Amino acid sequence: MDLSYTPEEEEFRARLREWLAKVLPGLPPKPSPDDWPGRRAYDLGWQRMLYDAGYAGLHWPADAGGRGATPTQHLIFLEETEKAGAPYVGANFVGLLHAGPTIAAEGSAGQRARWLPPVLRGEEVWCQGFSEPDAGSDLAALRTRARRDGDDYVVNGSKIWTSHAEVADWCELLVRTDAKAPKHRGISWLAMPMDAPGITVRPLRTLAGSTEFAEMFLDDVRVSVANRVGEENDGWRVTMVTLSFERGTAFVGEVVACRRVLGELAREARKNGRWDDAVLRRRLGRLNAEFRALWRLTQWNVSESERSGGVPGVGGSVFKLRYSRARQDLYDAAADVLGPEALDLDSRWTLDRLSSLSYTIAAGTSQIQRNIVAERILGLPKGR
């Protein structure tokens, strides 16, 4: 058990810090949350800066244009960029963390050459067309169908919860190509150009009032067969391969941010007098224990994946279950620190409290995560 970093890791950290200190003051002002073209330009601009400095695709394999960094270096990158207040991955999320790695793992040489460099250089944005109105937790029940017509697929159906659909160039799309096969065996993975005729994007407003994602209606959309990654009807496996890019680093920046917020809460409570409330104080103390432990669990999972050569451990679901609840507890505590001010949408933390409600739902609900932990880690029988 060694929590110290090697000289190489420390050097990586030092160079990164130095670079961040140099470039962050020169960033343009952050666009407003509703300014989607502005957000796209800002996020792509940041990605371009990362690319020029040699930090793009840090965790991608070198033969896909990435840096082949170790999981620990990736952890350091996410920790330091968060601490320095650097921009988030934002609109580059799907390209860098899902579609890109999928193409890197399963795409042909031509597909890799076409799609990977623009993601790394901050030139193209990807979105994800997986969930459907009737296929949420049961994703493999998806019904959007693709019919073969010459060199094209003709796609009909609808997708939901698609982030950045308004500003994306490409969509990684899961479609049903064989309606008769068992549900996991009739799915294919397509790269759909978002400027193709027949795509209608309708933004969805979240309970926090913002339009973070959209519904997408697909009406006779033609997608070239050459845009299929992997074999026809093998799309489920192709998609799951990418989930193995999760190396315990998914929430590194957020845990760092939560620990900063916790300190801000304590100092705010000192200032407004609520620190005298022992119940609130002890709650904050317990949250400190909680987020310290989550940080340690992150380091544990990262070390595990480093030892296994980047193969993920089983810790992802365990971590997400605990972290998603801790994040909600944190912002509930924030509301108690604020008191009546917590009802003011302009108060610090109020919008964060609202958006924290998505954490136990998005990317696999807590109920699904518990099934995964029970069946895949504990070996309990499938059933209901």
Partner 1 sequence: MDFQLTDDQRALRAGVRELLDRRFGRERLRAAVDAPELDRALWRELGEAGFFALRLPEAEGGVGLGLPEAVLAFEEAGRALLTGPLVATHLAAGEVSGAATGETVVAAVDGTLVEWLDEADVVRGDVTGAVAMRSADPLTPLHRVPRAAPPDPVAALLIAAEQLGSASRTCELAVQHARTREQFGQPIGAFQAVKHLCSEMLVRVEVARGAVYAAAVTADPLDIAAAGLLADEAAEHGARDCLQVHGGMGFTWESDVHLHLKRAWLRARRGQSAAEAEETLAEELAAVAPGPRT
Residue 9 known to be catalytic: no
Please say which residue, 223 or 373, places its beta carbon nearer to partner 1: 373
We find the least distance from the C-beta atom of residue 349 to partner 1, in angstroms, to be: 15
We find the least distance from the C-beta atom of residue 70 to partner 1, in angstroms, to be: 9
Give the β-pairing of 199-204 and 152-163. Answer: unpaired
**Paired residues of 171 in beta bridges:** 127, 192
Please say which residue, 202 or 307, places its beta carbon nearer to partner 1: 307
d(CA 178, CA 233): 7
Please say which residue, 226 or 377, places its beta carbon nearer to partner 1: 377
d(CA 57, CA 64): 9
We find the least distance from the C-beta atom of residue 302 to partner 1, in angstroms, to be: 8
- Lookup result for tokens 């005298």: 276
Please say which residue, 175 or 250, places its beta carbon nearer to partner 1: 250
Please say which residue, 257 or 362, places its beta carbon nearer to partner 1: 257
d(CA 146, CA 153): 6
Please say which residue, 29 or 273, places its beta carbon nearer to partner 1: 273
The residue annotated as part of the active site, out of 246, 254, 268, 375, is 246
Angle, CA of 45, 349 and 21, to the nearest 5°: 35
Give the β-pairing of 170-176 and 187-193. Answer: antiparallel
We find the least distance from the C-beta atom of residue 36 to partner 1, in angstroms, to be: 32
We find the least distance from the C-beta atom of residue 313 to partner 1, in angstroms, to be: 10
We find the least distance from the C-beta atom of residue 108 to partner 1, in angstroms, to be: 37
Q: Do 164 and 216 touch, CB atoms closer than 8 A?
A: no
DSSP 54-119: T-TTTTS-GGGTS----HHHHHHHHHHHHHTTPPP-GGGHHIIIIIHHHHHHH--HHHHHHHHHHH
- What amino acid is encoded at 46 in this protein? W
**Paired residues of 190 in beta bridges:** 173, 228
Q: What six digits make up the tokens of 364?
A: 């696999």
d(CA 243, CA 339): 41
CA distances from 268 to 175, 282, 340 (A): 50, 15, 14
We find the least distance from the C-beta atom of residue 368 to partner 1, in angstroms, to be: 10
- Lookup result for tokens 């995560």: 369
Please say which residue, 10 or 34, places its beta carbon nearer to partner 1: 10
Point out which residues bind partner 1 (CB under 8 A): 1-6, 9, 13, 72, 75-76, 79, 83, 255-256, 259-260, 262-263, 265-267, 269-270, 275, 278, 281-286, 288-290, 292-297, 299-300, 302-304, 306-307, 315, 318, 321-322, 367, 369-371, 373-375, 377-384
- Please give the distance of CA 91 from its chain centroid, rounded to a whole number: 10
Q: Which of these, 185, 177, 183, 127, lies nearest to 157 by C-alpha position?
A: 177
Q: What six digits make up the tokens of 229?
A: 């990654």
Residues identified as active-site: 246
